Structure 1
Amino acid sequence: MPLLVVADASRVRQFLDLPVRLYQDHPNWISPLDQDIESVFDPAKNPNLTQGEAIRWILTDAQGIVIGRVAAFINASTAHIDPTLPTGGMGFFECIDEQDAANELFEACRRWLAERGMAAMDGPINFGERDRFWGLLVAGFTEPNYGMLYHPEYYRRLFEGYGFQTYFKQYTCYRAVAAPLHASFARSAERYARELPDFRFAHANRSKPEQLARDFHHVYNLAWANHTGINPMTLEKARDIVAQMKPVLDDRLLWFAYHNDQPVAFFMSLPELNQIFKHVGRKFGLPQKLRFLWERYRFNRRQPKRMFGVIYGVVPEFQGQGVDVAMLVHAQRALLAAGYTDIEMNWIGDFNPRMLAVIRSIGARIHKTHVTYRKLFDPARPFERSPIIK
């Protein structure tokens, strides 16, 4: 089975085309945009390539038909978090249901990473932030949200058959927007309105992108940047995120809590874009952009209407004080008025019991499960799960 480096346009096309054939009998599969995949491997669009390194392969059978693909990469900002266990990554794995073929792809990643000083690899992950293309779907084989991957059930067997072990699980949770919140939530919101005038709750204003970027940047860095595997965000990066969201942003889905006009919590969501992109396709040229505008118009006027939670955070000083609960009460009213019926909240790690408790408190349930695996190159080394956030 020849293993070929993806180094020219024809092999890029083979790399991108393989899933179309593998998933032709999977009605819930929604293809990522080609440009979203390619941006991961474009030095002009992925800053991790300035100090890190990446490689891609396709695997063919004796007749030259592509039967698998994979990428391996070293992210300089995360590879040495544990100096005793330099860890690279692998991702964008797709393969026929054949263990030997999968092993060939996994071994290519292991060899390449080991030659560069790595002692383990995590996968399937993204060469960049955790907010997309991260983890293997192992439960809840429904339509994927934008930026999340769908996989066939046999992939789990291929990963574990090679020797990958579960490093952590990440959950996508669901609730109906109209489902009642616990009565204590309303009491908390009333208390803030009655007794704590220094607090206010408001959704974003798309006409003020600089304020949105600054508020997001402030809460994100205080709430999340000290967690393992998550880097502080620059203000410029926050501005870029807001600019990228602008074409699909719905102000009523981005909520902040303020204390003396300083942002202290946020709950940020977007319209579920795959409910639009599944009608548009993989490419995003001019015809597809026009189709996107039409499908977005239809999405905004139909039900059920799904949104997905992108990120939630409270600065440490205000955690456990109910400020986020009061914020959610205000947000629910706006979401219902905007016609949203369902929400899926992405990427809640099993290493974050506090966040899982919040999810349970609002009546959400686990809807999908992705697994991030780790493969130790030294089989004698004891395996350890991702540490729990205290």
Structure 2
Amino acid sequence: MVATQASTYQIRAVTTPADQDLFLDVPTRVYANDPNWVPPLRSSTAKQFSPSNPFLQYGKLQPFIAVTQGAKGPEAVGRVVAAVNQRLIEREGQQIGLFGFFECIADFAIAQALLDAASDWLRQQGMTAVRGPIDLSTHNSCLWLVDGFDSPPMVMMPYNPAYYPEFAERLGWQKAKDAYAYNFPLDKPLPTEFEKAHRIACKSGVTFRPLRTKGEGFEQDCLSLYRLFTTAFAGNWSSTPRTQEEFLEEAKELQSLVDPDVFPIAEYNGEMIGFFMGLPDYNIPLKQVGGKLNWLGILKFLWYRRQINQGRVIAICSLPEYRRKMVPLALIYLGMSGGIQKGKPYQRAELSWVYEDNFPSCKLIEASGGKIYKTYRIYEKAL
């Protein structure tokens, strides 16, 4: 045990079901008084550590917890996961390890001990550098918020106390890359260039339709989306392609949440060549659920989903050879138009996240009226 200003604590590897329960309990303690926090679904976090997680086919991981002795038994006051993603190592050509799932009370010594434990484990695996926060892969939650703490996160976006990045920087972690979230009010029409781009794309033979959300049509569209994601985003920083199995599993989880009016697809000669991926902000009802989708949680979710009045644009994608046909601008026009049509509740959109050095996307979003309102960061450190 080690004594700190907050408590006496012990760092230990998660090895038992009881330890895993403590691991899953940490966020509730950290964010107990934070009105902007949206509890993640406990079952979704637990699933990441199941032996059936496809990540374990090409990676390995080790969770750690910081434990104190409370009045009713052991209590966890911090957690972290160290991970080795072999695909990322092969792609980048360096022994880069990852840390993620980090949560910690406002105690610098405990945060330091957790990050040290993750770093020590990664050294033992032969890693020479560590990067994070990345929850196993950038396709999962990653990044720490460093600016824009005054509002809740949108669906599938990270959130954290302001002291996380402060602690990391005190410990010598360096910025690896920043990413932005853009705020986009929907009370003004897009510049006329976007509608013109849609007309040009249509005249050049590109056709547009909503994503299909049911049956065989949904499955076919998901396979096409997987091929497009894998091709168009192959060069993304610190990222490796998901397996088809991983992608389709994620797609099925989102199937019932999709609004086809804000998820237009672009096709050329019957082949998908682009898409605009918008999602309603389901964090609004999830905030009321408390992290558990039991029968009461489901009832609360269905009740509060009626309050959704905003959405997140997760990706705008076009194969490079179709950009001259104005496909990206046309997709923005259709996606935003779908969100403001009569009967739709959306008052604003968030376009996120966009890396700071993705100049074409930043320029396009800013031209359409988006303004940066949150900044996120990934850190690195040599081991």
Q: Does the alignment reach a TM-score above 0.5?
A: yes
Supply the distance in 2 between the matched residues of 1:167 and 1:187 (Cα, whole angstroms).
38
Q: Which amino acid in 1 is paired with 2:100?
A: G
RMSD, aligned α-carbons: 2.0
Supply the distance in 1 between the matched residues of 2:319 and 2:213 (Cα, whole angstroms).
23
| 2:289–2:297 contact (8 Å) kept in structure 1 | yes
Q: Residue by residue, what CA displacement relative to the aligned partner does 1:148-190 show, whole Å, maximum 9, x if unpaired? A: 2211111111111111101011111110133321222222223
Aligned to 2:157: 148
Aligned to 1:285: 294
Q: Does 1:339 align with 2:345?
A: yes
Q: Residue by residue, what CA displacement relative to the aligned partner does 1:319-376 show, whole Å, maximum 9, x if unpaired? A: 2442211222222222112332211122211131111112112111112111110011
Supply the distance in 1 between the matched residues of 2:360 and 2:196 (Cα, whole angstroms).
21
Aligned to 2:120: 111
Residue 61 of structure 1: how far off its partner (Å): 4.3
Q: Does 1:188 align with 2:192?
A: no
Supply the distance in 2 between the matched residues of 1:87 and 1:233 (Cα, whole angstroms).
18
- Equivalent residue for 1:210, pick from 216, 219, 226: 219
Aligned to 1:262: 271
Paired residue total:
367
Aligned to 2:76: 66
Q: Which amino acid in 2 is paired with 1:223?
A: A
TM-score (norm. length: structure 2): 0.90
Supply the distance in 1 between the matched residues of 2:243 and 2:158 (Cα, whole angstroms).
27
For structure 1, which segment, 28-37 or 330-339, has the greater mean C-alpha deviation from structure 2 after superposition?
330-339
SS of equivalent to 2:313: strand
Aligned to 2:6: none
SS of equivalent to 1:132: coil
| 1:32–1:147 contact (8 Å) kept in structure 2 | no
The runs of at least 4 aligned residues of structure 1 exceeding 4 Å deviation read 61-65, 233-238
TM-score (norm. length: structure 1): 0.88
Matches within 5 A, 1:44-193: 44=52, 46-61=53-68, 65-83=75-93, 85-128=94-137, 130-141=138-149, 142-193=151-202
Residue 299 of structure 1: how far off its partner (Å): 3.3
| 1:131–1:147 contact (8 Å) kept in structure 2 | no
Residue 236 of structure 1: how far off its partner (Å): 4.4
| 1:125–1:135 contact (8 Å) kept in structure 2 | yes
- Equivalent residue for 1:315, pick from 316, 319, 332: 319
Residue 57 of structure 1: how far off its partner (Å): 1.3
- Equivalent residue for 1:352, pick from 340, 350, 358: 358
SS of equivalent to 2:120: helix
For structure 1, which segment, 313-322 or 184-193, has the greater mean C-alpha deviation from structure 2 after superposition?
184-193
Q: Which amino acid in 1 is paired with 2:313?
A: G
| 2:200–2:325 contact (8 Å) kept in structure 1 | no
Aligned to 1:249: 258
| 2:316–2:328 contact (8 Å) kept in structure 1 | no
Residue 14 of structure 1: how far off its partner (Å): 1.7
- Equivalent residue for 1:363, pick from 365, 369, 372: 369
SS of equivalent to 1:222: helix
| 1:264–1:318 contact (8 Å) kept in structure 2 | yes
SS of equivalent to 1:148: coil
Residue 114 of structure 1: how far off its partner (Å): 0.5
Q: Which amino acid in 2 is paired with 1:136?
A: W
What percent identity do the matched residue pairs reach?
Answer: 28
Q: Does 1:240 align with 2:244?
A: no
Q: Which amino acid in 2 is paired with 1:311?
A: A
For structure 1, which segment, 167-176 or 182-191, has the greater mean C-alpha deviation from structure 2 after superposition?
182-191
